[in-house]
Structure 1
Amino acid sequence: MHHEQIELWQHHHQFNAEKKAVEKRTLIVVIVTLVTMIAEILFGWISNSMALLADGWHMGTHAFALGVSLAAYILARKYAQDESFTFGTWKIEILGGYTSAIVLGMVALVMIYSSVERIIHPLDIHYNQALMVAVIGLLVNVVCAFILTGVGHGHEHSHEDRQGHHKHHYEDLNLKSAYLHVVADAMTSVLAIVALLGAKYFNVVWLDPFMGIVGAGLILRWSFSLLKDTGYILLQREADGEIVDEIKKEIESDGDSKICDLHLLKVAQNKYACILSLVTAQRRTIEDYKLRLRNIHELAHVTIEINQCE
């Protein structure tokens, strides 16, 4: 008899919504970046322009990072039904965002090194070529940013209002990492244009490497912030304090039941798996306690252990 009803008690392991639209837009951005990279390298080689060649290879690092974000979406979708991922595949996306943040930080460190080297050993700048490359890079990244922001302001915010507070940590961190790469590249292009115009028309030669250091500092800050956000999730340090308080409030509402052990595992952007153990002197069922939690919509999976005391 119980074999026939087992499906009533089984749970699926896919807690995160499909993101085919996000995946498609990320793919478009990867293609645009790769095409621009190849074009810059090709025309740089034909015209002997080191500026074009350098920016082309620089585009390659961003294409790689964007490719990591795309691969994370593809793998998360591919293994969505794989039961060996007992809490779903969402953390593949988080791992993609974490990896991309590391690449972003490495790019910033290279920028700082190159800028300091340029201050110590200044080189002649071919202003017209460099300005052309910076403008091309800016236009490409503006287009890519618009493509990505079509998926929810660049890093999907969920403005769910819980107890009067707007919460912004239900964001797609993998998409955010892709967006930051595009924004970082666009920002460096703007800073480069300002620096090159200043150097060309006002002979402020030091402005070019100085802007490089300023841009790298901002990128490092973004990279660290993204590393912290994704790292906390990978290390299971993302338990929502308000949800924890609400779980305790509902479970202990009878004045008798007390939670003795509680674990929250983040399994999707705004979904948690809850594992709790409680102590009670009353004869209550697991279903009684699950009913108390039914209005906490962030809980996608609940496991309860009841310990009876005298």
Structure 2
Amino acid sequence: MINHTQMRYAYDHGFHSSNDIAKKNTLYAIIFTIIMMVAEIIGGIYFGSMALLADGWHMSSHALALGLAYFAYIISNRYKSDGRFNFGTYKIEILASYTSALSLLVVAFLMIYHSILKFINPQTIAYKEAIFIAIIGLVVNLICAWLLRSSHDHHNHDHHHDDLNLKAAYMHVIADALTSILAIIALSFGLLFGADFLDPLMGIVGAILILVWAMGLLRQSGKILLDANMNEPIVGEVIDILRLFRSDLIIKDLHLIKVAKDKYACIISLSSDEPLDIESIKKELSKHKELVHILVEIYPK
């Protein structure tokens, strides 16, 4: 029996380049987040603030998302040349972003549930202490957002495609920052005007915002995981290249599979009245820098 883990391949499936700066900054963000997460959860329980506790809960999902993003970078880079992965390891990062979105859904529903309980059974809130912790939480979120945003800008200096794994982590931070802002608003109005109902209300508002964002990320990452790429502009570009190459070409089948942020594997079946040279077609398609791992099949008309 052939041991595929020990095989050496003449071809390379390492289409996807690792974002090393993002990996390093993600680790820093994880450390900041875990420290603040513990402080907010303890503070929310001790001072009786649902908004602050909700922010801590969401920060826990944010810590999980950052951890998944960091782990995905490590695994994706480690196995990028492993021949067992037909089209490289890019989807490891996409799977991490999809999982992050699922974790956001869970946290959002928990926030709604506990906010409703807080409406039913109001608790005394130590507003000043809770506001202080929420402000610190917001500062930490902004630091993490800056770290991840700078990683995104640096990595996309020469690219026009998002690092979806990094984007998932970044959006977790942004959503958490919004939750912190809502908590500060609710606690401030409660302190100044006695509007205690705003604390659980803001918990629900924050949960709805998180739900909306999580569904967007699920759609975006799920589309890549399911290879639903055939409505993207590159499909038309490939068809135009083939039509310019030979006007009598008949495209019998075409598949474009996303194998990196800016790369697609191309599998195409063609027929024509005249003989076709596969290498010439592949050379023409290779001029499109986004196309890698090009497979061309010729069928009689």
* TM band (smaller chain): 0.7 to 0.9
What SS does the aligned partner of 2:119 have? helix
**Which residue pairs with 1:111 in the alignment?**
111
SS at match of 2:80: coil
Q: Are the aligned partners of 2:145 and 2:170 in contact in 1 as well (CA < 8 Å)?
A: yes
Aligned residue pairs: how many?
Answer: 290
2:199 corresponds, among 167, 186, 208, to 208
Shift in Å at residue 171 of structure 1?
1.0
CA contact 2:26–2:148 (8 Å) conserved in 1: yes
Q: Distance in 2 between matches of 1:155 and 1:171?
A: 9
The equivalent residue for 2:122 is 122
Letter in 1 for 2:268: L
Shift of 1:293: 1.5
Paired amino acid for 2:13: H
* Compared CA separation, residues 226 and 215, structure 1 to 2 (3 A): same
Look up the match of 2:99. 99
Is 2:226 aligned against 1:235? yes
Structure 2 counterpart of 1:199: 190
Output the CA distance in 2 between the equivalents of 1:191 and 1:40.
Answer: 14
Name the SS of the counterpart of 1:176 in structure 2.
helix
Which of 289, 293, 296 aligns to 1:301? It is 293
Amino acid at match of 2:254: L
Residue aligned with 2:17, SS: coil
Question: How do 1:259-278 residues align onto structure 2 when only pairs under 5 Å count?
Answer: 259-278=251-270
Cα distance between partner residues in 2 of 1:204 and 1:300: 59
Once the two structures are superposed, what CA deviation does each residue of 1:78-131 show, in whole Å capped at 9, x if it has no partner?
A: 111211012000100000000011111111111111222212221111111211
Name 1:87's counterpart in structure 2. 87
**Counterpart-to-counterpart distance in 1, 2:208 and 2:73:** 29
> Counterpart in 2 of 1:184?
175
Query: What do residues 144-171 of structure 1 show as CA deviations (whole Å, max 9, x unaligned)?
Result: 11111111259959775xxxxxxxxx21
Partner of residue 223, structure 1: 214
The TM-score normalised by the length of structure 2 is 0.88
> In structure 2, the residue corresponding to 1:151 is in which secondary structure?
helix
Relative to structure 1, is the Cα distance of residues 193 and 48 closer, same or farther in structure 2, using a 3 angstrom cutoff? closer
The question of whether the paired residues in 1 share the 8 Å contact of 2:43 and 2:133 is answered with no
Give the Cα separation in 2 of the matches to 1:228 and 1:14: 26
Give 1:143 shift.
0.8
Tell which deviates more after alignment, 288-297 or 30-39: 30-39
Does 2:283 correspond to 1:283? no
Larger relative helix fraction: 2
The answer (yes or no) to whether the contact 1:148–1:154 under 8 Å persists in 2 is no
Aligned to 1:163: none
- In the alignment, the residues of structure 2 paired with residue 137 and residue 106 of structure 1 have an alpha-carbon distance, to the nearest angstrom, of 21
In the alignment, the residues of structure 2 paired with residue 40 and residue 190 of structure 1 have an alpha-carbon distance, to the nearest angstrom, of: 14
Give the structure-1-normalised TM-score: 0.86
Q: Distance in 2 between matches of 1:155 and 1:37?
A: 28
Relative to structure 2, which stretch is displaced further, 79-88 or 115-124? 115-124
Gaps of 5+ in 2: 1-8
Q: Distance in 1 between matches of 2:38 and 2:209?
A: 27
What is the rounded CA distance, in whole Å, between the counterparts of 2:37 and 2:243 in structure 1? 59
Structure 1: runs of 5 or more not aligned: 1-8, 161-169
C-alpha separation in 2, matches of 1:80 and 1:153:
23
1:72 aligns with 2:72: yes
Instruction: Quote the residue 1:165 is aligned against.
Output: none
The residue type equivalent to 1:91 in the other structure is K
1:36-92 CA-partner distances (Å, limit 9, x unpaired): 345567x869x9556699466654332222111111111101111211012000100
SS in 1 for 2:15: coil
Q: What letter is aligned with 2:299?
A: N
Quick check: 1:290–1:302 contact (8 Å CA) kept in 2? yes
Aligned-pair CA distance for 1:238: 2.2
- The 2-side partners of 1:100 and 1:278 are apart by 40
Instruction: Give matches, 1:162-181, under 5 Å.
Output: 170-181=161-172
